[in-house]
Amino acid sequence: MLMARQPQGFIKSPAEQAAMRTAGRLAAQVLDMIGPRVVPGITTGELDQICHDYIVGELNAIPAPLNYRGFPRSICTSVNHVVCHGIPGPRTLRTGDIVNLDITVIKDGFHGDTSRMFQVGACSIQARRLCRVAYQALWRGIGIVAPGRTLGDLGHAIQQFVESEGYSVVQEYCGHGIGRAFHEDPQVLHYGTPGSGMVIEPGMTFTIEPMVNAGRRQVKLLGDGWTVVTRDHSLSAQWEHTLLVTADGVEVLTLGADERAPS
Protein backbone atom coordinates (compact mmCIF):
# COMPACT_ATOMS: atom_id res chain seq x y z
CA MET A 1 0.00 0.00 0.00
CA LEU A 2 1.23 3.47 -0.85
CA MET A 3 1.79 5.77 2.10
CA ALA A 4 0.43 9.29 1.67
CA ARG A 5 3.18 11.83 1.90
CA GLN A 6 2.99 13.41 5.37
CA PRO A 7 2.09 17.06 5.01
CA GLN A 8 4.46 19.31 6.91
CA GLY A 9 3.29 20.21 10.39
CA PHE A 10 2.10 23.66 9.48
CA ILE A 11 -0.39 22.53 6.81
CA LYS A 12 -3.85 22.50 8.44
CA SER A 13 -6.42 19.79 7.68
CA PRO A 14 -9.94 20.85 6.68
CA ALA A 15 -11.12 20.32 10.28
CA GLU A 16 -8.25 22.41 11.61
CA GLN A 17 -9.01 25.12 9.05
CA ALA A 18 -12.61 25.25 10.28
CA ALA A 19 -11.41 25.68 13.88
CA MET A 20 -9.03 28.44 12.76
CA ARG A 21 -11.92 30.24 11.05
CA THR A 22 -13.86 30.24 14.28
CA ALA A 23 -10.93 31.47 16.38
CA GLY A 24 -10.17 34.21 13.87
CA ARG A 25 -13.76 35.40 13.77
CA LEU A 26 -13.92 35.63 17.56
CA ALA A 27 -10.65 37.61 17.77
CA ALA A 28 -12.01 40.12 15.23
CA GLN A 29 -15.25 40.35 17.22
CA VAL A 30 -13.29 41.52 20.27
CA LEU A 31 -11.83 44.43 18.28
CA ASP A 32 -15.26 45.27 16.86
CA MET A 33 -16.59 45.33 20.43
CA ILE A 34 -13.80 47.43 21.99
CA GLY A 35 -13.39 50.02 19.21
CA PRO A 36 -16.14 52.38 20.41
CA ARG A 37 -14.69 52.25 23.95
CA VAL A 38 -11.30 53.64 22.88
CA VAL A 39 -11.98 57.25 23.88
CA PRO A 40 -10.15 59.99 25.80
CA GLY A 41 -10.07 59.29 29.55
CA ILE A 42 -10.13 55.48 29.49
CA THR A 43 -7.06 53.62 30.76
CA THR A 44 -5.35 50.80 28.92
CA GLY A 45 -5.99 48.65 32.00
CA GLU A 46 -9.73 49.26 31.66
CA LEU A 47 -9.61 48.26 27.98
CA ASP A 48 -7.84 45.05 29.00
CA GLN A 49 -10.45 44.29 31.66
CA ILE A 50 -13.36 44.83 29.24
CA CYS A 51 -11.74 42.60 26.60
CA HIS A 52 -10.89 39.92 29.16
CA ASP A 53 -14.45 39.78 30.46
CA TYR A 54 -15.87 39.65 26.92
CA ILE A 55 -13.50 36.91 25.74
CA VAL A 56 -14.13 34.74 28.80
CA GLY A 57 -17.76 35.61 29.55
CA GLU A 58 -19.31 36.14 26.11
CA LEU A 59 -17.10 34.18 23.72
CA ASN A 60 -16.27 31.28 26.05
CA ALA A 61 -12.71 31.57 24.83
CA ILE A 62 -9.30 32.06 26.40
CA PRO A 63 -7.20 35.24 26.15
CA ALA A 64 -3.92 33.80 24.84
CA PRO A 65 -1.55 36.53 26.10
CA LEU A 66 -2.49 36.05 29.78
CA ASN A 67 0.46 34.23 31.39
CA TYR A 68 2.01 33.56 27.94
CA ARG A 69 5.73 33.44 28.78
CA GLY A 70 4.85 35.49 31.85
CA PHE A 71 2.85 38.24 30.11
CA PRO A 72 0.60 39.62 32.89
CA ARG A 73 -2.52 40.78 30.99
CA SER A 74 -5.07 39.53 28.43
CA ILE A 75 -4.35 41.92 25.56
CA CYS A 76 -1.46 44.12 24.37
CA THR A 77 -1.92 47.90 24.33
CA SER A 78 0.81 49.82 22.49
CA VAL A 79 0.50 53.61 22.62
CA ASN A 80 2.29 56.13 20.34
CA HIS A 81 6.01 55.25 20.26
CA VAL A 82 5.37 51.79 21.72
CA VAL A 83 5.94 49.36 18.84
CA CYS A 84 4.32 46.23 20.33
CA HIS A 85 3.67 44.17 23.47
CA GLY A 86 2.65 47.15 25.61
CA ILE A 87 1.30 46.02 28.99
CA PRO A 88 -2.13 47.43 29.93
CA GLY A 89 -2.10 49.49 33.11
CA PRO A 90 -2.97 52.87 34.66
CA ARG A 91 -2.09 54.92 31.59
CA THR A 92 -5.00 57.16 30.59
CA LEU A 93 -5.54 57.63 26.85
CA ARG A 94 -5.63 61.27 25.79
CA THR A 95 -6.86 63.06 22.67
CA GLY A 96 -4.30 62.66 19.90
CA ASP A 97 -2.90 59.31 21.07
CA ILE A 98 -2.76 56.37 18.68
CA VAL A 99 -2.99 52.91 20.21
CA ASN A 100 -2.66 49.37 18.88
CA LEU A 101 -4.88 46.78 20.54
CA ASP A 102 -3.62 43.25 19.86
CA ILE A 103 -6.07 40.44 20.58
CA THR A 104 -5.36 36.74 20.54
CA VAL A 105 -8.01 34.22 21.58
CA ILE A 106 -7.93 30.47 21.90
CA LYS A 107 -11.14 28.65 20.93
CA ASP A 108 -11.37 24.86 20.93
CA GLY A 109 -7.59 24.71 21.08
CA PHE A 110 -6.89 27.02 18.11
CA HIS A 111 -5.58 30.60 18.06
CA GLY A 112 -6.88 33.70 16.25
CA ASP A 113 -4.58 36.75 16.35
CA THR A 114 -5.42 40.25 15.10
CA SER A 115 -4.63 43.86 15.90
CA ARG A 116 -5.73 47.31 14.78
CA MET A 117 -4.77 50.91 15.36
CA PHE A 118 -7.25 53.21 17.09
CA GLN A 119 -7.10 56.99 17.10
CA VAL A 120 -8.07 58.63 20.38
CA GLY A 121 -10.17 61.68 19.51
CA ALA A 122 -8.71 63.90 16.82
CA CYS A 123 -5.15 62.96 15.83
CA SER A 124 -2.46 64.80 13.90
CA ILE A 125 -2.25 64.44 10.13
CA GLN A 126 1.10 62.66 10.63
CA ALA A 127 -0.38 60.11 13.06
CA ARG A 128 -3.31 59.44 10.74
CA ARG A 129 -1.03 59.00 7.75
CA LEU A 130 1.18 56.55 9.67
CA CYS A 131 -1.82 54.44 10.69
CA ARG A 132 -3.11 54.44 7.11
CA VAL A 133 0.22 53.45 5.59
CA ALA A 134 0.63 50.63 8.14
CA TYR A 135 -2.85 49.34 7.18
CA GLN A 136 -2.01 49.52 3.48
CA ALA A 137 1.28 47.71 4.18
CA LEU A 138 -0.62 44.82 5.77
CA TRP A 139 -2.89 44.57 2.72
CA ARG A 140 0.02 44.82 0.28
CA GLY A 141 1.33 41.72 2.01
CA ILE A 142 -2.02 39.94 1.97
CA GLY A 143 -2.28 40.68 -1.76
CA ILE A 144 0.88 38.66 -2.38
CA VAL A 145 -0.28 35.54 -0.56
CA ALA A 146 -1.07 32.63 -2.91
CA PRO A 147 0.32 29.15 -3.52
CA GLY A 148 3.64 29.34 -5.30
CA ARG A 149 4.64 32.77 -3.99
CA THR A 150 7.42 32.87 -1.39
CA LEU A 151 7.67 34.47 2.01
CA GLY A 152 10.46 36.62 0.57
CA ASP A 153 8.02 37.97 -2.04
CA LEU A 154 5.70 38.90 0.81
CA GLY A 155 8.35 40.60 2.95
CA HIS A 156 9.73 42.47 -0.03
CA ALA A 157 6.31 43.84 -1.03
CA ILE A 158 5.71 45.21 2.46
CA GLN A 159 9.18 46.70 2.91
CA GLN A 160 9.26 48.29 -0.50
CA PHE A 161 5.84 49.90 0.02
CA VAL A 162 6.62 51.21 3.52
CA GLU A 163 9.99 52.65 2.50
CA SER A 164 8.47 54.27 -0.59
CA GLU A 165 6.19 56.15 1.82
CA GLY A 166 9.21 57.40 3.80
CA TYR A 167 8.73 55.11 6.80
CA SER A 168 10.69 52.11 8.13
CA VAL A 169 9.83 48.49 8.94
CA VAL A 170 10.79 46.94 12.29
CA GLN A 171 12.94 43.83 11.75
CA GLU A 172 13.18 42.33 15.24
CA TYR A 173 9.56 41.11 15.33
CA CYS A 174 7.67 39.25 12.64
CA GLY A 175 4.50 37.45 11.67
CA HIS A 176 4.24 33.75 12.42
CA GLY A 177 2.56 30.48 11.72
CA ILE A 178 -0.42 29.99 14.05
CA GLY A 179 -2.66 27.10 15.04
CA ARG A 180 -2.71 25.01 18.19
CA ALA A 181 0.31 27.08 19.19
CA PHE A 182 0.31 30.88 19.41
CA HIS A 183 3.60 31.14 17.51
CA GLU A 184 4.46 28.34 15.07
CA ASP A 185 6.78 28.03 12.10
CA PRO A 186 7.27 29.65 9.72
CA GLN A 187 8.51 33.10 10.69
CA VAL A 188 6.93 35.70 8.41
CA LEU A 189 9.38 38.58 7.95
CA HIS A 190 8.08 41.96 6.84
CA TYR A 191 11.20 42.62 4.75
CA GLY A 192 13.12 40.49 2.29
CA THR A 193 14.17 39.54 -1.20
CA PRO A 194 11.76 38.39 -3.94
CA GLY A 195 11.93 34.65 -4.63
CA SER A 196 13.70 33.86 -1.36
CA GLY A 197 12.33 31.90 1.58
CA MET A 198 9.68 29.24 1.94
CA VAL A 199 7.15 28.61 -0.81
CA ILE A 200 3.58 29.39 0.30
CA GLU A 201 1.27 26.33 0.15
CA PRO A 202 -2.48 25.75 0.55
CA GLY A 203 -3.48 24.98 4.14
CA MET A 204 -0.85 27.17 5.77
CA THR A 205 -2.14 29.54 8.45
CA PHE A 206 -0.01 32.48 9.46
CA THR A 207 -0.17 36.11 10.50
CA ILE A 208 1.07 39.24 8.79
CA GLU A 209 1.64 42.09 11.24
CA PRO A 210 4.06 44.75 10.01
CA MET A 211 5.30 47.30 12.56
CA VAL A 212 5.87 50.62 10.76
CA ASN A 213 7.91 53.42 12.33
CA ALA A 214 7.61 57.07 11.35
CA GLY A 215 11.35 57.44 11.98
CA ARG A 216 14.15 54.91 12.13
CA ARG A 217 13.52 51.16 12.32
CA GLN A 218 15.58 50.54 15.48
CA VAL A 219 13.75 49.46 18.63
CA LYS A 220 14.53 49.06 22.32
CA LEU A 221 13.09 46.65 24.90
CA LEU A 222 12.09 48.33 28.17
CA GLY A 223 13.02 47.03 31.62
CA ASP A 224 9.63 45.34 32.10
CA GLY A 225 10.86 42.72 29.62
CA TRP A 226 7.90 43.25 27.24
CA THR A 227 7.34 46.81 26.09
CA VAL A 228 9.11 47.51 22.78
CA VAL A 229 9.61 51.19 21.85
CA THR A 230 11.20 53.04 18.96
CA ARG A 231 14.77 54.06 19.82
CA ASP A 232 14.22 57.52 18.36
CA HIS A 233 10.81 57.82 20.08
CA SER A 234 9.07 58.27 16.74
CA LEU A 235 5.48 57.05 16.40
CA SER A 236 4.87 53.40 15.43
CA ALA A 237 1.81 51.67 13.99
CA GLN A 238 0.82 48.03 13.39
CA TRP A 239 -2.11 46.07 12.03
CA GLU A 240 -2.39 42.27 12.05
CA HIS A 241 -4.52 39.63 10.37
CA THR A 242 -4.53 35.83 10.60
CA LEU A 243 -4.64 34.21 7.14
CA LEU A 244 -5.43 30.85 5.60
CA VAL A 245 -3.80 30.01 2.27
CA THR A 246 -6.39 28.55 -0.11
CA ALA A 247 -6.02 26.64 -3.39
CA ASP A 248 -5.90 29.85 -5.39
CA GLY A 249 -5.26 32.68 -2.93
CA VAL A 250 -5.94 33.65 0.63
CA GLU A 251 -8.77 33.85 3.14
CA VAL A 252 -8.51 36.54 5.83
CA LEU A 253 -9.77 34.88 9.01
CA THR A 254 -9.90 38.02 11.18
CA LEU A 255 -11.82 40.52 9.04
CA GLY A 256 -13.73 43.16 10.98
CA ALA A 257 -17.50 43.45 10.61
CA ASP A 258 -17.09 46.53 8.42
CA GLU A 259 -13.87 45.50 6.74
CA ARG A 260 -13.24 44.18 3.26
CA ALA A 261 -10.20 43.93 1.04
CA PRO A 262 -9.24 47.39 -0.24
CA SER A 263 -9.57 47.55 -4.04
Please give the residue ranges that form the binding site for ligand MF3 (CB under 6 A). 65, 68-69, 71, 76, 85, 102, 104, 113, 209, 226, 240
Residue 97 binds which of Co ion, ligand MF3, none (CB < 5-8 A, kind-dependent)? none
Tell me: does residue 113 bind Co ion (CB under 5 A).
Answer: yes
206 is an interface residue for Co ion by CB under 5 A: no
Backbone angle region of 60, left / alpha / beta, with phi > 0 → left and psi within -120 to 50 → alpha:
left
CA distance 107 to 1: 37
Q: Tell me how far, at minimum, the Cβ of 132 lies from ligand MF3, in Å.
A: 20
Do 229 and 219 touch, CB atoms closer than 8 A? yes
**Letter for the amino acid at 33?**
M
End-to-end CA distance of the chain: 49
Residue 85 contact among ligand MF3, Co ion, none, beta carbon within 5 to 8 Å by kind:
ligand MF3
- Is residue 177 a contact point for Co ion (CB under 5 A)? no
When CB distances are held under 5 to 8 angstroms depending on the partner's kind, the choice from Co ion, ligand MF3, none that residue 71 binds is: ligand MF3
Q: Provide the minimum distance between the beta carbon of 68 and ligand MF3 in the complex, in angstroms, as a whole number.
A: 4
Q: Smallest gap, in angstroms, from Cβ of residue 2 to ligand MF3?
A: 39
CA atoms of 263 and 215, how far apart (whole Å): 28
Check residue 207 for interaction with Co ion (CB under 5 A): yes
Nearest to 22 by CA among 111, 115, 101: 111
Query: Does the CA dihedral 232-233-237-238 come out positive or negative?
Result: positive
CB of 176 vs ligand MF3, minimal distance in Å = 6
Considering only CA atoms, which of 257, 263, 260 is closest in space to residue 35? 257
Question: Could you say whether residue 170 binds Co ion (CB under 5 A)?
Answer: no
Which partner, Co ion, ligand MF3, none, binds residue 153 by CB below 5 to 8 Å per kind?
none
- Residues of this chain that interact with Co ion (CB under 5 A) are 102, 113, 115, 207, 240
